[in-house]
Chain A
Amino acid sequence: MCTGRVDPALVAGAFKKGLDGLLVVGCYFGDCHYISGNFQARAKMDITRKLLKHIGVNEDRLAFRQCSSGEASVFVDIIGKFVDRIHELGPIGGGGDRLKAPEIFEKISTAQAVLGGEKIRWVIGKRTPFLESGNMYGEIFTEHEFNRAIDMIIVEETEVQEILAKLREGAQSVKDLAKALAIPTERIFRYITALKRKDMVALEKVSGRSPIFQITPQEV
Chain B
Amino acid sequence: MPNKEDNIRIGVFVCHCGSNIAGYLNMEELGAYVETLPHVAFAKRNLYTCSEGGINEIKKAIKEQNLNRVVVASCTPRTHEPLFRSSCAEAGLNPYLFEMVNIRDQCSWVHMQQKDDGTAKAKDLIRMGVAKAALLEPQVPIISEVAQRALVIGAGIAGMTSTLALANRGYEVVLVERGERLGGMLNQLNKLGPTMADASAFADEKVKAITAHPKITVFTKARVTEAQGFIGKYKVDIETESGVKKIDIGVIIVATGGRLLVPEGLYNYDGKKVITQLEAETLLKQGLDKGVNNVVMIQCAGGRTKERPYCSRICCQTAVKNAMLIKEQNPQARVSILYRDMQMYGVENEEMFRDSKAKGIRYIKYEPEDPPQVSDGKVSVYHSLLGRKIDLAADLVVLSTPIVSQDGAEATSQLLRVPIDDNGFFLEGHVKLRPLDFATDGVFLAGSARFPANIREAVAQGLGAASRASIPLSKGSVVVEPIISILANEDACRGCGLCVALCPYGALEIKKTDKGRKVHIIDVACKGCGVCASTCYQHALSVNSFTDDQINAQINAFLE
Contacts and interface: CB of A to CB of B under 8 A. Distances in A.
Interface string A1-18: 110111110100110011
Contacts of B552: 10, 13
B533 A122 contact: no
Contacts of B534: 4-8, 10, 40, 44
B504 to A, nearest CB: 4
Interface stretch (B331-339, B495-503, B514-522): B495-503
A128 interface: yes
Contact of A125 (B499, B527, B529, B546): B499
Contacts of B530: 1-2, 4-5, 37
A35 interface: yes
Interface in A85-119: 116-119
Contacts of A14: 555, 559
A122 B531 CA distance: 13
A19 B529 contact: no
B555 A128 contact: no
A5 B535 CA distance: 8
A42 B336 CA distance: 51
Interface residues of A, number: 33
B531 A13 contact: no
B439 interface: yes
A49 to B, nearest CB: 15
A147 interface: no
Contacts of A4: 529-531, 534
B548 A10 contact: yes
Interface string B405-426: 0000000000000010100000
Contacts of A37: 504, 529-531
A118 to B, nearest CB: 5
Contacts of B548: 7, 10
B556 A17 contact: yes
B537 A34 contact: no
A10 B555 contact: yes
A121 interface: yes
Contacts of A122: 496, 498, 537
B505 interface: yes
B172 to A, nearest CB: 30
Of residues B431, B439, B499, which shows the largest number of chain A Cβ atoms within 10 Å of its Cβ? Answer: B439
B543 interface: yes
A125 B502 contact: yes
A129 interface: yes
A121 B494 CA distance: 14
Contacts of A19: 555, 559
Dominant secondary structure of chain A at its interface with chain B: helix
Contacts of A2: 529-531
B537 A5 contact: no
A118 B537 CA distance: 5
B539 interface: yes
B551 interface: yes
Contacts of A31: 431
A10 B556 contact: no
Interface string B368-381: 00000000000000
Nearest to A33: B430
A45 B196 CA distance: 56
A18 B559 CA distance: 7
A10 B551 contact: yes
Nearest to A16: B559
B538 interface: yes
B528 interface: yes
B546 to A, nearest CB: 5
B536 interface: yes
A202 interface: no
A124 B499 CA distance: 11
A30 B534 CA distance: 21
A1 B543 contact: yes
Interface string B225-258: 0000000000000000000000000000000000
A34 B505 CA distance: 9
A200 B465 CA distance: 56
Interface string B422-462: 00000000110000000100000000000000000000000
Contacts of A7: 533-534, 548, 551
B132 to A, nearest CB: 12
A40 B535 contact: yes
Contacts of B535: 40, 121, 124-125
A126 interface: yes
Nearest to A34: B529
Task: With a 10 A CB-CB cut-off, give which of B421, B534, B535, B555 has the most chain A CB atoms.
Answer: B534
Interface string A116-142: 111101101110110000000000000
Residue among A8, A18, A124 facing the most chain B CB atoms (10 A cut-off): A124
B498 A35 contact: no
Contact of B498 (A5, A17, A126): A126
Q: Which 10 pairs across A and B sit closest by C-beta, in order of nearness?
A: A5-B530, A121-B537, A35-B504, A4-B531, A2-B529, A34-B529, A7-B534, A125-B498, A125-B535, A17-B559
Interface of B: 419, 421, 430-431, 439, 483, 496, 498-499, 501-502, 504-505, 527-531, 533-539, 543, 546, 548, 551-552, 555-556, 559
9 contacts: A2-B529, A5-B530, A6-B534, A7-B548, A33-B430, A37-B529, A37-B531, A40-B535, A118-B538
Given A1-B543, A37-B529, 9 more contacts: A1-B529, A2-B529, A2-B531, A5-B531, A5-B543, A10-B534, A31-B431, A122-B537, A125-B499
